[in-house]
A and B are shown apart, each in its own frame.
Chain A
Amino acid sequence: MATTKQIIHGVFGDEVPMIEACKKLRASGIRIKEVYTPMPVHGIDALIGVPRTRLAICAFLYGITGTGLATLMMWYMMVSDWPNDIGGKPTWAYYFAIPAFIPITFEATVFCAAHGMALTYLLRCMLVPGAKAKNPDPRTTDDKFLILLDLKEEQAQKAEAILKENGAEEVNHKGSYVVEPKYILEDAH
């Protein structure tokens, strides 16, 4: 049987009641699709089941790539391709001149880690020049906190009650859509 799902916006004027509402919704087994806030609200990601980001691991990998590239470059240019002979002291092997290579190795590490991470962040969030605004309500960048729910009919009513009880300033229905049975998976929390 096809199911109808509803999209609901619960709008709050402060983060404290919003957090409370999130807790209640989760406790009664309702899945929160997303939360939009004007500023970072600590702990909200764990509360609504957003897994911890792995960007820092990416940064580490980019960083060691930078270390490797810089080492390879300086080895090739100063040792392999053209051993630089300064005062009769050519760089026969990389380790002869390692102290001189440290600053650029460090800079290249930071360069790759920072830029690699920044690019990954932008792409992971789909933040690209000219992209459409991703917040469903323009007030969420100013002073409103929005809980976005995408629920089946029977859950929607329960959710609406919880939102109102916990001090939602507005509960807006943003339409509904029909999901064919073949697309329905068991609700995973």
Chain B
Amino acid sequence: MHAESEIRIPLIIGDKSYRQITDDIIAPIEGKAARGWYTLTTISALCFLWGICSLAYTIGVGIGSWGSNNGVDWAWDITNFVWWIGIGHAGTLISAVLLLFRQKWRMAINRSAEAMTIFAVMCAAIFVLLHTGRPWLDYMLFPLPNQFGSLWPNFNSPLLWDVFAVSTYFTVSLVFWYIGLIPDFGMIRDRVIKPWQKKMYGFLSFGWGGSARHWSRFEEVSLVLAGLSTPLVFSVHSIVSFDFATSIVPGWHTTIFPPYFVAGAVFSGFAMVLTLMLVVRKIYKLEHYLTVKHIEYMNIVIIVTGSIVGVAYLTELFVAWYSGVEWEQYAFLNRATGPLAWSYWIMMGCNVVSPQLFWFKKIRTSIVATFILSIVVNIGMWFERFVIIVTTLCRTYVPSSWNTYTPSFIDVGIFVGTIGMFGTFFLLFSRYFPVIAQAELKTILKASGESQKKAAANNHH
């Protein structure tokens, strides 16, 4: 047990013992759900239902039911795909990168951030699977031996790289998440009394024992998986950006895309984690574990990544002017002053201006301000993808293919549906799964618990 400096603010507030942590984490599972939980779940489930109907309609009549048209052939589908994938990035970043950097504050948030990643990638997958037009032929994306002769997918195509990147990302995140969950399921199994719960958590815990051998392997697996996930998380959004950057469309054909997309992904992901955290914290009364300090740390990451995104926007503008390529120049002029300029200015306002408010300590430690700004950031990041995709495709090289874009009712339905699905899954997760990685949290109790720190300080004097 190494001592931690007294001036560091404790990460676990109140007089907590190991037993108290167990009790607090298991409370939502053993007890009755709050009324807020039922309200939110009902709303989410209704949105999800609307999404399912829209999905069924799309599969029935085809993607002609969307607002996409001949010029704007990628629209809300890819916008939503990139948005969801971006949101998914925070989970792995928190659990992998912050693990490698030994950041103790990750422990209260990593579990739900990883859950968020998994659900967000599921939402993203819906759009890529649908946008092919005939989703029942999606198996052709994979290099399977087939009846069409030697017809293999094209490994030179970034779209195929994306198939591999997203599926690897999804499965690895899922495994990383589950391996972390096993010890906590073990704890729940040993605590619950109702027979069906005992059975269910017994099954889910895979017979976890918590012996020294288990733990030493567990830590090794966590560390190596974190090491593998860190480059993975950067590769996934880089590859998503290649979908655009390797094309010749003005406004897309830029080398700045990979880092700019990764920073944007972390930016929106952290914002989404904050939105969810603040709700979870309230509903399950976890204020002692998800403290204002945690919120502040996350807001600092938002300032950093938000500023990188802001610099990237300005760099794009500068390079468009400096390159002397008139197509590029027009693409950016069109974004800022064209028919869809409102979306560009929403993007600029939400992504460049709003995160800078977090420089004020009052704002970044205010729960209400954080909640509002975290939603504003995600609106801004959705518009970033909308601007990149739709505004650009409205005005490509040939004026005869210029077009405008209006989403259809079905487009809106699928998008709201994925938000509903995400919400439903997350709420179910928060009710039946341990929302905080309690075993890991117990390892920092001695060093970062409030009463433990006070006791240690008193012993010194």
Residue of A nearest to B215 (CB): A40
- In the complex, 7 of the A-B residue pairs with CB atoms within 8 angstroms, ordered by the A residue number, are A34-B213, A103-B158, A108-B168, A114-B171, A130-B203, A131-B206, A141-B183
Cβ of B155 and Cβ of A125 under 8 Å apart? no
Task: Report which of A16, A41, A63, A117 forms a contact with B221, defined as CB distance below 8 A.
Answer: A117
Cβ of B152 and Cβ of A118 under 8 Å apart? no
- Of B189, B209, B212, B231, chain A has the most CB atoms within 10 Å of the CB of B212
Cβ of A103 and Cβ of B216 under 8 Å apart? no
Tell yes or no: A174 within 8 A of B by CB. Answer: no
Cβ of A167 to closest chain B Cβ, rounded Å: 16
Tell yes or no: A48 within 8 A of B by CB. Answer: yes
Tell yes or no: A181 within 8 A of B by CB. Answer: no
Task: Report which of B164, B176, B204, B208 forms a contact with A107, defined as CB distance below 8 A.
Answer: B164
Q: Contacts of A77 on B, CB cut-off 8 Å?
A: 143, 152-153, 155
Q: Contacts of A143 on B, CB cut-off 8 Å?
A: 17-19, 22
Cβ of B208 and Cβ of A127 under 8 Å apart? yes
User: B residues within 8 Å of A by Cβ?
Assistant: 1, 17-19, 22, 143, 150-156, 158, 160-161, 164-165, 168, 171-172, 175-176, 179, 182-183, 186-187, 189-191, 202-221, 223-225, 228-229, 231-232, 235, 239, 242, 439-440, 442-443
Q: Contacts of B179 on A, CB cut-off 8 Å?
A: 118, 121
Interface stretch, picked from A3-11, A23-31, A51-59, A150-158, is A51-59
Interface of B is mostly: helix
Q: Contacts of A45 on B, CB cut-off 8 Å?
A: 212-213, 215-216
Cβ of A127 and Cβ of B143 under 8 Å apart? no
Quick one: given A84-B156, A125-B214, A133-B186, are A103 and B239 in contact (CB under 8 Å)?
yes
Cβ of B235 and Cβ of A134 under 8 Å apart? no
State in angstroms the CA–CA spacing of A184 and B205 once bound together. Answer: 35
Q: Contacts of B156 on A, CB cut-off 8 Å?
A: 78, 84, 86, 91, 97, 100
- Of B152, B154, B229, chain A has the most CB atoms within 10 Å of the CB of B152
Task: Report which of A100, A110, A133, A141 forms a contact with B232, defined as CB distance below 8 A.
Answer: A110
Quick one: given A110-B168, A115-B172, A133-B190, are A125 and B213 in contact (CB under 8 Å)?
yes
State in angstroms the CA–CA spacing of A8 and B229 once bound together. Answer: 42
Cβ of A20 to closest chain B Cβ, rounded Å: 12
Q: Contacts of A124 on B, CB cut-off 8 Å?
A: 217
Quick one: given A39-B440, A115-B171, are A135 and B186 in contact (CB under 8 Å)?
yes
Other A-B pairs, 7, CB within 8 Å; known A44-B215, A128-B206: A34-B211, A38-B439, A103-B158, A107-B164, A117-B221, A133-B186, A133-B189
Quick one: given A55-B221, A107-B164, are A134 and B211 in contact (CB under 8 Å)?
yes
State in angstroms the CA–CA spacing of A86 and B221 once bound together. Answer: 42
- Of A82, A104, A125, A139, chain B has the most CB atoms within 10 Å of the CB of A125
Task: Report which of B171, B186, B224, B439 forms a contact with A40, defined as CB distance below 8 A.
Answer: B439
Cβ of A44 and Cβ of B208 under 8 Å apart? no
Cβ of A94 to closest chain B Cβ, rounded Å: 11
Tell yes or no: A161 within 8 A of B by CB. Answer: no
From residue 95 to 113 of chain A, which have CB atoms closer than 8 A to chain B?
Answer: 97, 100-101, 103-104, 106-108, 110-111, 113
Q: Contacts of A129 on B, CB cut-off 8 Å?
A: 203-204, 206
Interface of A is mostly: helix
User: A residues within 8 Å of B by Cβ?
Assistant: 15-16, 34-41, 44-45, 48, 50, 52-53, 55-56, 59, 63, 73-74, 77-78, 81-82, 84, 86, 91, 97, 100-101, 103-104, 106-108, 110-111, 113-115, 117-118, 121-122, 124-135, 138-143
Cβ of A14 to closest chain B Cβ, rounded Å: 8
Cβ of B209 and Cβ of A118 under 8 Å apart? no
Residue of A nearest to B165 (CB): A107
Quick one: given A81-B150, A115-B171, are A37 and B212 in contact (CB under 8 Å)?
yes
Cβ of A78 and Cβ of B216 under 8 Å apart? no
Cβ of A142 and Cβ of B224 under 8 Å apart? no
Q: Closest 9 A-B residue pairs measured CB to CB?
A: A134-B209, A131-B207, A143-B18, A138-B190, A127-B206, A77-B152, A39-B442, A141-B187, A40-B215
Quick one: given A38-B442, A77-B152, are A103 and B164 in contact (CB under 8 Å)?
yes
Residue of A nearest to B178 (CB): A118
Q: Contacts of A34 on B, CB cut-off 8 Å?
A: 211-213
Cβ of B211 and Cβ of A135 under 8 Å apart? yes
State in angstroms the CA–CA spacing of A45 and B19 once bound together. Answer: 24
Q: Contacts of A140 on B, CB cut-off 8 Å?
A: 190, 210
State in angstroms the CA–CA spacing of A90 and B179 once bound together. Answer: 44
Cβ of A48 and Cβ of B212 under 8 Å apart? yes
Cβ of B210 to closest chain A Cβ, rounded Å: 5
